[in-house]
Structure 1
Amino acid sequence: MNAQPTTNRRPPSGVRDPALGGSSSPSTAPAASRRDTWPSGSCRGAGGFLVCHLTPGVLPTREDLIQTFHEAPRETLATVVEQIRFEQQCRTSL
């Protein structure tokens, strides 16, 4: 069994290596990573390439659909748990 050394491996495309002077965190990420987006059932049924932009107290419409992989600013990103909480807050605010 030949084990390949990992020291010369390049990071995946789009990932910056801090050892080479780059940032380990990109400045943008997919829109689906935003705190205020949610993959509605209809979005998931359509192939998962759309997410719904949520606003508390406002019923989402088709105009609130955004593409999953559009860029989103880093400061809008959240964990899945934060997204779930935000979706629950929006749902109960209607």
Structure 2
Amino acid sequence: MSDDASLSDFAGRDGDEAGDGSTVDDPTDDAPATPTYTYTSTPDGAACAACGESVETRWRAGEGGAADETDLDPDALVCPDCKEW
């Protein structure tokens, strides 16, 4: 028997053994994750959430650095100088 299989061979096997010891995940169980950007560029400039300086590029503050020092939301957008790398 060939190792080749079509996708239709796996239809209706949600949670069943895939034949190699793993299980087949049901993609409808979890909603797809919404992508989160980590960087943004604003050609006309926008204020850094930490220092207030107008900059073209901003990054999410994340954990540590500016977020911890100023009680910023980790999702706040900060300039490269305020970002903890």
Shorter-chain TM band? under 0.3
TM-score (norm 1): 0.23
> Which structure is higher in RCO with an 8 Å CA cutoff and minimum separation 6?
1
TM-score, normalised with respect to structure 2: 0.24
The structure in which a higher percent of residues are helix is 1
Larger Rg: 2
